[in-house]
């Protein structure tokens, strides 16, 4: 595509070193620049793309999108915000692919991944050949791919949409996050339907306040043809009131006409949301029922680890106060004996939730062991101290493997051991280094070691 044809989508305030240039690709990572790429100099928390522009030009970037003029002799489009310019440019460059895809998206604090999987299976049962985009995996055509961000950067997102169209996908089930909303990654996406699951204390290190967090979710519905809202959630009730024409669901009032294989009342809410979205897309009840019943589990969501032990071991991704509370309430219903919980909090994330999660674990578990999650750049012991401040007296074992081992050793017939926080994750990030670590595999190894020889 000619740069002069792409430029209007970015609305540049100035064009420097103007020249007739053919743009072969878009990039925001200098390491991914190929000859002919338009490179977006994006300012991040750890690096500034303007400082990498010379490297991008050396790699063959044909032009740059910048927020300030640079002393580099290639065409430059000066814009107010390079990150926000990516979405309109990507929509134009990749031919507005969401116009050709039926995009069914899910947003909310908890339940996004599970609801997206349920929607995917319903779309598949209805013959709508869906693609998939979650924080667990992506599927383009019939090809599974590893996931990165829940909602990719705008260039990656529009590229994926185009690849889905070319691979024969007629629809796409995807997660839509509040971070992506604020950063403009979803600008230009047409949502055939958008589901709101709930809103709870999370990501306030990014959003600042619950009002701003809600506003980030609310903004997404401006681009939704149909809105599906859980009014069993107080923020959902507010959203439905503001939207007026929203389709609503409530687990206290609505009945699910399917044999749901997933445990927990919150999964009934997820299934009701997926079913309501499917009906809004004109999908019949038989396909809805088949799709829901085809989902036997979602990796790292109330996932059972069974090595023949006389007590249950469950791994769950719950790393937020509301999610931990829901999962502990559900494990209490499953337990004939005690609930033993292992949990921690991630570093470089919302610190306000740490004592809250400590209180929740102390109140709802019979035994709560505080350990490390992904401390990232923070001191693991400092994170644990902030958790324990909410409930002094909690057991502490900073080494996650040792904490899981202690919980399993405590397990007796009828107990439930809940390992919360990392779910499907296969690594633990400590001091900037990601070490292999999968709660499910660690629990499995420890349980096998308990078996008589």
Contact 281, 192 (CB under 8 A): yes
Q: Kindly report the backbone phi and psi dihedral angles of residue 159, in degrees, each rounded to the nearest multiple of 5, phi listed first.
A: -65, -45
How does pLDDT run across 53-73, given as a tens digit for each residue?
999 999 999 999 999 999 999
pLDDT at residue 453 in the model: 61
Q: pTM for the complete prediction?
A: 0.92
pLDDT at residue 391 in the model: 94
Name which of 90, 89, 83, 39 is nearest 60 in CA terms: 39
pLDDT at residue 149 in the model: 72
| Domains defined along the chain, listed by start | 3-93 (3.40.1390.10), 97-293 (3.40.1190.10), 303-450 (3.90.190.20)
pLDDT at residue 379 in the model: 96
- The tokens 């470089």 sit on which residue? 348
Q: Which residues of the chain have pLDDT under 50?
A: none
How does pLDDT run across 282-295, given as a tens digit for each residue?
999 999 999 999 99
How does pLDDT run across 343-381, given as a tens digit for each residue?
999 999 889 999 999 999 999 999 999 999 999 999 999
Per-residue burial over 221-255, b = 16 or more CB atoms within 10 Å of its CB, e = otherwise: bebbebbbbbbbbebbeebbeebeebbbbebeebe
């Amino acid at each position: 595509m000619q740069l002069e044809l792409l430029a209007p989508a970015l609305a540049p305030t100035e064009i420097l070193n103007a020249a007739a240039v053919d743009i072969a690709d878009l990039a925001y990572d200098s390491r991914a620049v190929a000859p002919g790429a338009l490179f977006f100099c994006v300012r991040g928390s750890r690096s500034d793309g303007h400082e990498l522009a010379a490297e991008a030009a050396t790699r063959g970037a044909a032009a740059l999108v910048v927020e300030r003029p640079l002393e580099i002799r290639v065409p430059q489009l000066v814009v107010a915000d390079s990150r926000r310019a990516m979405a309109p440019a990507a929509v134009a460059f990749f031919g507005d692919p969401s116009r050709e895809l039926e995009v069914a998206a899910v947003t909310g604090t908890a339940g996004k991944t599970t609801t997206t999987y349920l929607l995917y299976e319903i779309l598949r049962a209805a013959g709508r050949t869906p693609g998939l985009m979650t924080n667990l995996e992506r599927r383009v055509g019939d090809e599974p791919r590893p996931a990165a961000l829940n909602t990719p950067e705008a260039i990656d997102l529009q590229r994926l949409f185009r690849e889905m169209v070319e691979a024969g996908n007629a629809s796409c089930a995807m997660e839509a996050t509040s971070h992506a909303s604020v950063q403009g990654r979803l600008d230009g996406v047409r949502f055939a339907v958008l589901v709101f699951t709930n809103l709870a204390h999370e990501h306030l290190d990014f959003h600042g306040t619950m009002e701003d967090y809600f506003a980030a979710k609310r903004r997404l519905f401006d681009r939704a043809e149909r809105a599906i809202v859980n009014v069993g959630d107080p923020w959902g009730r507010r959203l439905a009131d503001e939207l007026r024409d929203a389709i609503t669901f409530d687990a206290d009032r609505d009945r699910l006409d399917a044999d749901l294989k997933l445990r927990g009342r919150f999964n009934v809410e997820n299934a009701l949301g997926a079913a309501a979205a499917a009906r809004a897309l004109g999908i019949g009840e038989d396909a809805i029922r088949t799709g829901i019943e085809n989902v036997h589990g979602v990796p790292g969501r109330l996932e059972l680890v069974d090595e023949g032990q006389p007590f249950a071991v469950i791994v769950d991704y719950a790393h937020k106060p509301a999610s931990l509370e829901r999962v502990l309430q559900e494990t209490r219903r499953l337990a004939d004996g005690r609930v033993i919980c292992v949990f921690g909090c991630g570093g470089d994330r919302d610190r306000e939730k740490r004592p809250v999660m400590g209180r929740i674990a102390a109140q709802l578990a019979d035994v709560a062991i505080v350990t490390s999650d992904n401390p990232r750049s923070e001191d693991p012991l400092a994170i644990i101290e902030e958790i324990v401040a909410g409930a002094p007296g909690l057991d502490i074992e900073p080494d996650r493997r040792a904490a899981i081992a202690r919980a399993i050793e405590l397990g007796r017939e009828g107990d439930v051991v809940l390992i919360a926080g990392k779910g499907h994750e296969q690594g633990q990030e400590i001091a900037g280094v990601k070490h292999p670590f999968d709660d499910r595999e660690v629990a499995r190894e420890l349980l096998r070691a308990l078996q008589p020889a």
